[in-house]
Amino acid sequence: MIRDWTHKTGCSRSLFILLLFLSAAGRAFADVAQNTPSIFAPSSTPSNEIFHLSLFVLGIVGGIFVVVGGLLAYAVIRFRARNQEDDTEPAQIYGSNQIELAWTVVPVLIVVVLFLTTARMIFAIQDAPKPQSALDVTVVGHQFWWEFRYPKLGIVTANELHVPLSSTSDPKPTFLHLLSADVDHSFWVPQLAGKTDLIPNHPNDMWIDPLHPGVYVGQCAQFCGIEHAKMLLRVYVDTPEQFAAWVKEQQQLGMQDPHVAAGRHVFETEACMNCHTISGTDGRGTFGPDLTHLMSRDTIAAGAAPNTPQNLRVWVKNPDDLKQGSLMPAMQLSDQQLDDLVAYLSTLH
């Protein structure tokens, strides 16, 4: 009986139990802790395919482990010297070419099977054709935050990637074009796909097609400097209606609220605008995240803290308090300036 290697295998019974167990364990972790980025709780085609491949591989190496480990255990128990007084030596056996040949051929066969399965999966994921319906997003890695650009939608945002829900009947995959502004980074949201590096001068591509709405967490997976640990990543998988609403909101110009003109004045006259953009102001900087719709994001400082006025104030006053070694300098603002600025930033919906 010929069956699909990657999904069910010859030793299907034990593998199936293992699958159930791992899947349940993976989901249990994901549910209990809300935000465990387990690779065994996949929610997108690439991660799902990898999950099935991983079970197949786990079955094979698990089998090898049981057989060889069992032989070792047997040898240790069966052939241990029982009588310390016994001075005689056991029979000396120097080797056997037939046996050597046997335990060379069997691993060769295993390698052939593993290689063919793996190669098929590499081509299936890496060279998948891009459908017309795909959404393009350019991801730029910075020390220590993520810039997301939607070239066809005219949207620029940071750290929180919004993508539409996909389904097998209505595929809406998101293709990510990965760039780096400084050093190497790596884009990794385990439940959606394997990681791909962001390397300066070496653009890369990857794709996801999330099948369940929700928030998926991940983080930079290539050491990129002092705050590598707090270069966190959130992917929001929106239903079509949510996504359309989000796009509409992001395409608007920055808020112009006269009640917070003092804060806007601080933004435009202190060094803030050298690094940050807020559309509708003179701020055109690109070194830091675009703040035009800052209040549409749940977190600040690349996920280091929830986006609340208190945290914003702490962050602007001295970024190191939330994120040691962040490249944003402490601007030595007065309390009044801080209050005004935070009041202004809080209007940027």
Q: How far apart, in whole angstroms, are the C-alpha atoms of residue 199 and residue 224?
A: 11
User: Per rule CB under 8 A, is residue 129 in the interface with other proteins?
Assistant: no
Looking at 123-131, 149-157, 279-287, 330-338, which segment touches other proteins (CB under 8 A)?
A: 123-131
Binding part of the chain for other proteins, among 10-18, 86-94, 167-175, 266-274 by CB under 8 A, reads 86-94
Residues 276 to 335 in contact with other proteins, rule: CB under 8 A = 303, 324-325
Distance CA(341)–CA(304), nearest Å, equals 20
Q: Which of 212, 156, 207, 218 is nearest to 178 (CA)?
A: 207
The side-by-side arrangement of strands in the sheet containing 135-142 is 155-158, 145-150, 135-142, 174-180, 204-208
Q: How many CB atoms lie within 10 A of CB 237?
A: 26
- Binding pattern to other proteins, positions 191-210, x when CB under 8 A? --xxxxx-xxxxxxx-----
Are the C-beta atoms of 36 and 29 separated by less than 8 Å?
Answer: yes
Closest to other proteins by CB, 39 or 134: 39
Judged by CB under 8 A, the chain residues 4 through 23 that form the site for other proteins are none
Count of CA atoms in the C-beta half-sphere (13 A) of 83: 6
When binding is defined by CB under 8 A, the residue of 162, 230, 264, 317 that contacts other proteins is: 230
Among 234, 265, 232, CA closest to 341: 265
The verdict on 338 binding other proteins (CB under 8 A) reads no
- Chain positions 208 to 227 lying near other proteins, rule: CB under 8 A, are 217-227
> Quick one: which of 10, 17, 115, 131 contacts other proteins (CB under 8 A)?
115
Residue 47 within binding range of other proteins, rule CB under 8 A: yes
* Sole binder of other proteins in the list 4, 90, 258, 334 (CB under 8 A): 90
Residue entry with tokens 């054709």: 129
Query: Binding to other proteins (CB under 8 A): which residues in 149-178?
Result: 178
